[in-house]
Structure 1
Amino acid sequence: MVGVVVISHSPRAAKGIRDIAVEMGSSDTRLVVAGGDVDGGIGTDPNAIAEAITEAAGVNDDHRSDENKTANDNPTQGEIDDVVLLVDLGSAVMNAELAIEMVTIDNTVHIADAPVLEGALNATVEASSSKATVESVIAAAEDAREYSKIN
């Protein structure tokens, strides 16, 4: 399986994106959010992102906070092989890259070059497939770049 992390400068936006992805996509995916700075304001925090990556990878499942619940209510530790990150703005990429360097897991972590909402929805649906790979989840997320909202 592949875990998904939504990273947003806004804690409320990150949680809202997770809610939409679960409602419209799938609740069978480990979908974790990291939103806001260390004080809960607008920004991103590499430590929170690193924690979300670790959680999406299936590490420390027994220590999940209510604020950062995954989409999957009963995840199994060790179930996740890789993690795909979706970010809202460019500076979040910098903190995501720093967080990737901070984590000490064997899993592969990738940042998808995708719009965060549509990409999260696509990634969540793809990651719920038993045949999903990190490559297929990234491709599904990045396919969202081509969506046209009007004809």
Structure 2
Amino acid sequence: MTGRVGIVLVSHSAAVADSVAALARGLAGGGSTAPVAAAGGLPDGALGTSSERIVEAARAVDGGAGVALLVDLGSAVLTVKALLAEGDELPEGARLVDAPFVEGAVAALVTASAGGDLDAVSAAAAEAYTYRKE
């Protein structure tokens, strides 16, 4: 157990989820980072959302401080909401975070790695909506 908030990146594509996780780890700086796992695509490699992959990833990163789930779009949102509503498959303290996928993942991981609690991680990820690119 790490005692830090875990991050799960849910995408319709395994390649996208894996790449965003790698990018977030790289940009989170040196040293030890909070646990982050990708949950992308279907078990057969096709595009889609797998509740089994999401549950497995959430359990893998759960260190007892909560799990922030960031999603890309559509059915990923619906699948995470359904899992949260069921209440027994995801770790206690799991939360869907409304944030942009890439920028939110980086902000969430940086904050979690610095020891931020689930509220701080969620807020940092959501704040990424305000990042201007002009």
Which residue in the other structure is 1:64 paired with? none
Alignment of 1:74-89 (within 5 A): 79-89=63-73
SS of aligned partner of 1:33? strand
The runs of at least 4 consecutive aligned structure 1 residues that moved more than 4 Å come to: none
Q: Deviations over 1:48-81 (max 9, x none)?
A: 1111111111xxxxxxxxxxxxxxxxxxxxx432
CA–CA distance in structure 2, aligned partners of residues 113 and 90 of structure 1: 13
2:10–2:70 CA contact under 8 A, matched in 1:
yes
For 1:7, what is the secondary structure of its paired residue? Answer: strand
> Match for residue 120 of structure 1?
105
Task: Say if 2:47 is the partner of 1:42.
Answer: yes
The number of residues matched between the two structures is 127
Letter matched to residue 41 of structure 2: G
| Identity across the alignment (%) | 37
What's the counterpart of residue 89 of structure 2?
Answer: 103
**Mind listing any 5+ residue stretches in structure 1 that lack a counterpart?**
58-78
TM-score, length basis structure 2:
0.88
Q: Secondary structure at the match of 2:23?
A: helix
Query: RMSD between aligned alpha carbons?
Result: 1.4
What is residue 74 of structure 2 aligned with on the other side? Answer: 90
1:139 and 2:126 equivalent? no
**Alpha-carbon distance in structure 1 between the residues aligned to 2:64 and 2:36:** 11
Q: Distance in 1 between matches of 2:55 and 2:28?
A: 25
Amino acid paired to 1:103: E
Structure 2 equivalent of residue 67 of structure 1: none
- Structure 2 residue aligned with 1:25, among 24, 28, 31? 28
1:142 alignment partner AA: A
Deviation at 1:90, TM superposition (A): 2.3
Displacement of 1:104 after TM fit?
5.7
Letter in 1 for 2:113: S
Distance 1:104 1:147 in 2: 30
Q: Deviations over 1:55-112 (max 9, x none)?
A: 111xxxxxxxxxxxxxxxxxxxxx432000000002101111233335163x211111
